[in-house]
Amino acid sequence: MSASFLEMIKPELDAVDALVEKTLKIRPGHLSRFAHLELESLQKHLHPALVLLSGRMFNHTGEKLVYLASVIQLIYMASNIHFRIPDDSDAAKDEDPRDGTQLPLLVGNYLYGKYFVGLCEGQILEFLKPLAEVIAEMNHGALLRKKNSGLPVTDRKFILNVIEKETALLAESAARLGGILAGASEMEAARLADFGRNFGIAYGIMERSLDPALAAPYFEKAEKALGGLPAGRPRDTLKEMVRQIQNGELPVPLRMTGQSENPGERKIGDMVIPKQYRDKEEYVHSIFSSIAKKYDILNTVLSFNQDKYWRKFTVEQTGLKAGGSALDVCCGTGMISVELAKKVGCDGSVVGLDFCEDMLAIARENLTGSPYEGIIEYMQGNAMELPFPDNTFDCATIGFGLRNVPDREKTIREMTRVIKPGGRVVCLEFSKPTVPVFRQIYNFYFDKWVPFLGKLGVGIDGPYRYLHNSWKVFPHQEELRREFSLLGLQETTYYELTGGVVSVHVGIKPQEEHIPSVAATKE
């Protein structure tokens, strides 16, 4: 969890990560070879943060707290692996071998075993019994879920019972035991448990992509429980974490289990896709091929004609001048490419790159006979492996494409590589609205109306339902800004447009260090 408000416990989180990583390295190789261990930031640091902040609330830091946080994270990882083992072990030959039964089961059991070791090494064996009970209840919840897999998802009582066992009890233990280790009184520990349990239920509802209204009262109870605990920065940090998760600023990754509500789907990375597609890239390609001819007009209608303003504002942030050169990554039908061409003029050049030939065909058709025909070149290519030398362009843009690439980090690195020092990477993307009432309206609009209107336009609702799903798992605008910084871009910032419906992120490639003439002569 890279949220800036957790900087206060960053050294301890780093220590937890180191202990966990040490456990994952075994003689035959890294355990990721045998089971799915890829965790998003929130999954990686949520439970350790609950332990560490609960301890900090009572002015306690130290090795024991770090060991407790790492032990609880190992329990979470083990359960996460076990939960995603398919009910049917006869996996197809072309599927990832880690999706079988035996190896993930062994890895999960190994991690459960290492939790005992962590308790011993941290000299906190007094927590053996309560955590063992939690592990038993978590597996009990999984058994209930599998046994009643045919039960309608509308059975709220059953769903909440499973969520409490599978998810909430571990969050409750993380908060309560962290406080106990730090010297919390019995009443204070009970309040921490109340906070952790209600927060865990709300989190479990969101990671299963259930109705957010179902989670709201549990978030409220969690915040109320925090109100009875010692005031200070740790408590404020927990409140901020709850608030950001509730309003979507910290997106909750969907939980992957061995059974699916739709057997024709599977989860790859952060997206659920139909099983007939090999990967996210192939799925996204099929989507944009199917809507290429009506893409521009539907975008204008669905955005209430705001998309033109968004693109113009994006290009204004590039710093382009007449005669400059620009790269438009994931250019689609070339709408941003044309805006870039207007900026560079007849003496400049623009390259629009996209992986979907159907979209490029529309872009070339739109360009024919226009004043920008000799300025723009469209080409098919991979955003993660740009076919250009280092330091080629004055800027690189990407509009509504960063959600769709399989590797966001690699794409940003590639865009940075191909621009000149001092050049800008500029990204236009859907974001999380910041105005409270507008946020709820926007979520409803994208969840219900966009797929419906999209179906009217192209005959199927899949492409525009994908738009909403990809938006839900995309990072909050502040998180993306931090990614830009961590990947080496400087002076990173973002601008929220139309109430935060979209954001434009900007980062500048550092100037190369000057090589002294003496050193150059030696070369």
Number of domains in the chain: 2
Q: CA nearest 178: which of 57, 16, 12, 2?
A: 57
In order of 110, 136, 260, 265, the CA distances from 150 in angstroms are 31, 23, 11, 17
Do 220 and 288 lie in a common domain? no
The predicted structure's pLDDT at residue 69: 94
Domain end point (choices 195, 228, 259): 259
Q: What 3-state class would DSSP assign to 36?
A: coil
* Inside any domain, residue 514: no
Do 29 and 95 lie in a common domain? yes
* Inside any domain, residue 369: yes
Do 246 and 287 lie in a common domain? no
Do 226 and 296 lie in a common domain? no
Do 299 and 193 lie in a common domain? no
- Please give the DSSP secondary-structure letter assigned to residue 322: T
Per-residue tens of pLDDT for the chain, all 523 residues: 445 667 889 899 999 999 999 988 887 778 877 777 878 888 889 999 999 999 999 988 889 999 999 999 999 988 888 777 665 444 444 455 555 567 777 887 888 888 888 889 889 999 999 999 999 998 888 888 777 754 444 567 888 898 999 999 999 999 999 999 999 999 999 999 999 999 999 999 988 878 788 899 999 999 999 999 999 999 999 999 999 888 877 888 877 655 444 444 445 455 555 554 555 556 555 555 555 555 555 555 445 567 889 999 999 999 999 999 999 999 999 999 999 999 999 999 999 999 988 889 999 999 999 999 999 999 999 999 999 999 999 999 999 889 888 889 999 999 999 999 999 999 999 887 765 544 544 554 455 444 444 444 433 444 445 555 555 667 888 889 999 999 999 999 999 988 788 899 999 999 874 433 333 333 3
Helices 41-56/169-181 angle, 10° precision: 30
Domain CATH code at residue 221: 1.10.600.10
Do 203 and 65 lie in a common domain? yes
Q: Are the C-beta atoms of residues 477 and 502 closer than 8 Å to each other?
A: no
Can you give the residue range of the structural domain that contains 409? 281-508
Do 66 and 101 lie in a common domain? yes
Do 199 and 162 lie in a common domain? yes
In order of 46, 68, 112, 235, 450, the CA distances from 62 in angstroms are 19, 10, 23, 18, 50
Do 252 and 295 lie in a common domain? no
The predicted structure's pLDDT at residue 61: 83
HSE-up of 100 (CA within 13 Å, CB side)? 12
The predicted structure's pLDDT at residue 378: 97
